Amino acid sequence: MKCILIEDEIPAQRILQNYISKLPNLEFVASFQSALEANATLQNQPIDIVFLDINLPDISGIDYMKTLLNPPCIIITTAYHEHAVESFELDTICDYLVKPFSFERFLKAINKANKNLGVVKKTATQQEIPSDTLFLNIDKTLHKISMCDIIYIESDKNYVTVVSEEGKFCYLDSLKNWMLKLPPTEFIQVHKSYIVNCRKIDRISGNLLYMNTQKIPIGRLYKVGLLKKLMP
């Protein structure tokens, strides 16, 4: 498992690197003193685990992770207890280590991360679709749609509405499942309730994007990733 450190204290970096070196299944990639320094690595190569401090320069660790569309498994490493509840509200946080922590406690976190990553990879494999065609099972009827014809997907509680050139299809599902199905080069989540086809975007104005006559809100946490994808 490839891992990086985002930690602004050099002694803490050395302790973590020492712990990582003891485990053959961990591959240390790099360490960074701020989340912004780590941004390029997280965007350009697959990372399985991030050891993340919370109090960092420029932007806190938790706030930065909220900006990532597909974040890796996060292990918080901090000297403070009070952020634990907020951290575990994020799906990608798999453990919370309070400094100083022992190697045994570190190993427990790694085992938990390994288990979580195994579940994610299994789910991704199960959801993988080898072609650009999908069949949606709605009211015992299979509806065939092409991914390239999807305009956007909207979530409302436990249901999603797939809006495509063929029509609208509403059924029980989640945006999280759709992010596993769709090619990331063409689709992006722009709001907690919307995934859009980048090729179908007509224009962006403020915190709204326009797709034909439809106006779709852009969430504050998603805007940076959207603009970076559209204007690399």
Task: Note down pLDDT in tens along the chain; length 232 residues.
Answer: 899 999 989 999 999 999 999 998 889 999 999 888 888 888 778 888 999 998 888 888 878 877 777 778 889 888 876 655 555 555 668 888 888 889 999 999 998 888 777 644 544 444 444 457 778 888 778 888 888 899 999 999 889 999 998 889 998 888 988 888 888 889 999 999 999 999 999 999 999 999 988 999 999 999 999 998 888 6
> How far is residue 180 from each of residues 130, 133, 162, 222, 226, measured CA to CA in Å?
12, 14, 15, 18, 18
The answer to whether 186 and 199 are in contact (CB under 8 A) is: yes
Q: State both tokens at 161.
A: 């509405």
pLDDT on residue 205: 92
Strands 150-156 and 194-197: antiparallel
In 3D, which of 97, 95, 82, 66 has the Cα closest to residue 225?
66
Give the 3-state secondary structure percentages of the chain, helix then strand then coil, rounded to 5. 35, 35, 35
Q: Is the peptide bond before 71 cis (omega within 30 degrees of 0)?
A: no
Residue 123 confidence (pLDDT): 44
Q: Is this model's pTM higher than 0.85 or not?
A: no
Q: What is the pLDDT of residue 193?
A: 95
CA-CA distance, 164 to 200, in Å (whole number)? 10
